[in-house]
Amino acid sequence: MSGTYTAHLAEDCGTILADGSKALAYRHRQIDPYIDLCEKVTLDFSGVRSANSSFMNALISGLLEQHGEPVLEKLVFKACKPAIAVLVEAAIELGISKSAGKVVA
């Protein structure tokens, strides 16, 4: 399969993203299977009102831990409000640090 896949976070997880264990289960079910199959995987935050670091770290830094920094070339972050963008960026940095072995968590 080539092309793109879009994960609609508000539709699938709700408008408040605050549960890391739900994010992990969602990632395993809705994102991981498409990382190797698609050229682009879009995480669509349209409609998401708020989030926390627990959710973002489980969702995004876990992807980097599992697939390495090159996965960023496949990921597209759509419709991130400023507060959500900060959490996304922090999760990316954490994932890069973990994949490089700089952080053990």
DSSP state string for the chain: --SEEEEEHHHHH-SEE--HHHHHHHIIIIIHHHHTT-SEEEEE-TT--EE-HHHHIIIIIHHHHHH-GGGGGTEEEES--HHHHHHHHHHHHHHHHHHTTS---
Distance CA 58, CA 61 (A): 6
Task: Please check whether residue 105 lies inside any domain of the structure.
Answer: no
**Of the candidates 101, 32, 97, the residue with the CA atom closest to the CA atom of residue 71:** 32
Distance CA 20, CA 39 (A): 26
Task: Please check whether residue 104 lies inside any domain of the structure.
Answer: no
Number of domains in the chain: 1
Predicted pLDDT of residue 100: 80
Task: Please check whether residue 19 lies inside any domain of the structure.
Answer: yes
The rounded average pLDDT for each run of 10 residues, N- to C-terminus, in the chain (105 residues) is: 90 97 96 94 98 97 92 97 97 92 63
Task: Please check whether residue 48 lies inside any domain of the structure.
Answer: yes
Whether the CA torsion 58, 61, 63, 65 is positive or negative: it is negative
Predicted pLDDT of residue 22: 97
Q: Which residues are CB-neighbours of 81 under 8 A, at least 6 positions away?
A: 45, 48
Predicted pLDDT of residue 103: 59
Task: Please check whether residue 49 lies inside any domain of the structure.
Answer: yes
Range of the domain at 27: 4-99
